[in-house]
Amino acid sequence: MKMEDIVKTYISKNGNQVKALNNINYNFKKGKFYAIMGQSGSGKTTLINILGLVDVPTRGKYFFNGLEVQKLSNDKLSEIRNNEIGFVFQHFYLNNRLTALENVLLPTLINKKHTKEEIIEKAKKLFNNLGLESRMNHYPNELSGGEQQRVSLIRALINEPSVILADEPTGNLDYNNELEILKLLKEVSKEKCVIVVSHNPNIKKYADIVLNLDKGVLNEN
Amino acid sequence: MKTKELFLLGFKSLKFLSLRKKIFLVIQIVIMLLILIPFGFYSVFSNAAETIINNQYEFREISLYGTSNDYEKYKSVLNEYENNHIVYIDELATPNIRAYTSVDSRNNFILKRKIEGFVPEVTNGNELNNKYDIICPEMATDVNFEELNYNDLINLEEKIGKTINLNFLNSDDELVFSQEFNIVGTYNADFYYSYNTCYILNNTFDEILSKNNSDLKEDSDTVKDLFILYVDSNENVEEITNYLENNDIMVSVPKLDDKIVNYILLLSIFIMIILVITSIIILINYFKNYYKEEYYNIALYKALGFKEKDIIKIIFIENILLIFVALIVSIVLFIFLKIIVTLYLHQFVAFRIAEIRLSIIPLFIYYLIIILLNYVFLKIDINEISSMSIKRIGEL
């Protein structure tokens, strides 16, 4: 994921221009765990949105697996997001109307890579690996915070993406669950590009590369 | 995304409805019920009108009025009428004879002639054969039916094979003579609006008339029923009436006053229009703001890689399933209401033929309008959905 001179500006309510990202140049690679640290308002969420193909930069170029993102259609971006990117959110964001297994299978509804049987088999394996085999048919409100975040991680992994984007994944967890999640992300980063945005200083122990985002400018520590 | 999966997602969403969606659901049930009610009740009146027009022979009778001096002229005109639409001509007779079960009571049965096509079908027992045979309603009364509760009727079907004694009075309410009749058969009077009409043979009818001394010829200045014509069908009544009026004959044709039926129809249509307009306003408001409540789900779908058309499909199916639930509930409630009201109405003889109908077509037309609005607003708002969901992903 290569960013060249990326700038993102917003127009505030009083008509002023706000520069959320200011000339970002960076190349994120597979097999690395990146931690992006920064204060509130530093542009972390904007950066995640652009990296995740949810938003487009105002200026600059962003290449994902060699493809220039600005030249791609919305449908193509959705397809890439479904196949190549897994999101993990601070508030887990599981659909309360679906069981844990159904939540995990949600991204597979529009993915034709595998058959339904293969997908379910893979999901069950992931549930087992993360110690949630007995929780598959429970609804999110029946799961603890740590369990919900693990389900969220399984959902992010189900389509075998090359990138995991996590925005404050441990923000709502206690210490033990926090460490659990960070260990899992570290494990996952051996074969994928894992980018975690966080305030949490503990993350530095697990990250291969720590980046600092300050007033829209990205620097490597 | 497969349709089956879309519907499964939609069904799942029905399990957990927000307060706003619950209110919307209740409003839709009420609106659909209000659509069903006028159509259902209109059918009661149109059904009654149709029954009366098609079954009630009184509307195929033409009365010719005049004094005794007009008798010969009318007779001549009738003889010159060449078409075969007149089944029977009743001369110088009252169309009915009043028969009293008790001399002291003012309640009476009405006796009518047996005229082919003008006598109801016998549903139990036999047709008239012998001189003093009589056919009566299955459930009968000699009381004015407008004040009558159906439970007060007497079951004459049980009395087939038995006799009934009828008294005939003169204009001073004095007994002229009594006659015993054999009840040989009964008919279902529900469709005839008259539970006190009985039928006897023509000759017997004439005999009773002559005994009652109702010869009208002597009173030459009084305008009266000189003739009653029984016509073979409603369609031919107008033709005969025109012929008679062109020959300066005073005629009277009982007509169904269908004004009330038309008023009810117009009122129903008016209510429909108001309902549909109100409903469309509610629906537009709901569909325009639906995505604001659903933006987290929309943002999630977008983050997971769902395309805009997939997201539209999901929201579309969720909405039409929600409204389909309203459709089913409103139909069930209407059927329940129909049963209760029909049971109540059928107590009264005037509403024995009342039938409240479930009109599915107007409801499905309304449902189709909703589906169309749902789709249109989703398509219109998709850009706003898209940009809002981008913002919301950040907040997730």
Is B89 inside a domain boundary?
A: yes
Point out which residues pair with B110 in neighbouring strands.
B98, B197
Q: Do A109 and B16 touch (CB under 8 A)?
A: no
Is B214 inside a domain boundary?
A: yes
Q: Same domain for B31 and B159?
A: no
Q: Same domain for B83 and B218?
A: yes
Contacts of B300 (CB under 8 A, 6+ apart): A93, A95, B396
Q: Same domain for B168 and B296?
A: no
Burial B94-127 (b: 16+ CB within 10 A, else e): eeebbbbeeeeeeebbebbbbbeebbbebeebee
Please check the confidence at residue B65 and state whether its pLDDT lies above 90: no
pLDDT of residue B144: 59
Please check the confidence at residue B183 and state whether its pLDDT lies above 50: yes
Report which listed range, A47-56, B258-267, B268-277, is most confident.
A47-56
Is B85 inside a domain boundary?
A: yes
Report chain B residues touching chain A, CB-CB < 8 A.
Answer: 1-2, 5, 9, 12-13, 15-16, 296-297, 300, 302-308, 310, 386, 390, 393-396
State the average pLDDT for chain B.
81
Q: Same domain for B166 and B97?
A: yes
Is B241 inside a domain boundary?
A: no
Percent of chain B exceeding pLDDT 70 equals 82
| Cβ pair B13, A97 in contact under 8 A | yes
Domain range holding A87? 2-220
Contacts of B343 (CB under 8 A, 6+ apart): none
Please check the confidence at residue B327 and state whether its pLDDT lies above 90: yes
Q: Do A54 and B304 touch (CB under 8 A)?
A: no
Domain range holding B117? 60-232
Task: Tell me the ipTM for this assembly.
Answer: 0.89
Please check the confidence at residue B182 and state whether its pLDDT lies above 90: yes
Q: Same domain for B48 and B72?
A: no
Q: Same domain for B133 and B272?
A: no
Q: What's the total number of domains in chain A?
A: 1
Please check the confidence at residue B28 and state whether its pLDDT lies above 60: yes
Low-confidence ranges of chain A (pLDDT < 50): none
Q: Which of A17-21, B58-62, B242-246 has the lowest mean pLDDT?
A: B58-62
Q: Same domain for B50 and B198?
A: no
Q: How far is B275 from chain A (nearest CA, A)?
A: 34
Is B321 inside a domain boundary?
A: yes
Q: Same domain for B320 and B356?
A: yes
Q: What is the CA radius of gyration of chain A?
A: 17
Q: Which of A27-31, A112-116, B285-289, B324-328 has the lowest mean pLDDT?
A: B285-289
Q: Same domain for B22 and B95?
A: no
What's A142's domain CATH number? 3.40.50.300
Q: Do A83 and B305 touch (CB under 8 A)?
A: yes
Is B238 inside a domain boundary?
A: no
Segment B218-238, tens digit of pLDDT: 445 667 778 888 888 878 888
Taking Cα atoms as reference points, which of A46, A42, A66 lies closest to residue A6?
A: A46
Higher pLDDT, B105 or B208: B208
Angstrom distance (rounded) from CA B244 to CA B80:
11
Please check the confidence at residue B393 and state whether its pLDDT lies above 60: no
pLDDT of residue B216: 38
Q: Which of B9-23, B50-64, B289-303 has the lowest mean pLDDT?
A: B50-64
Q: Same domain for B67 and B148?
A: yes
Confidence label for B215 from pLDDT (cuts 50, 70 and 90): very low
Q: Same domain for B216 and B91?
A: yes
Confidence label for B209 from pLDDT (cuts 50, 70 and 90): confident
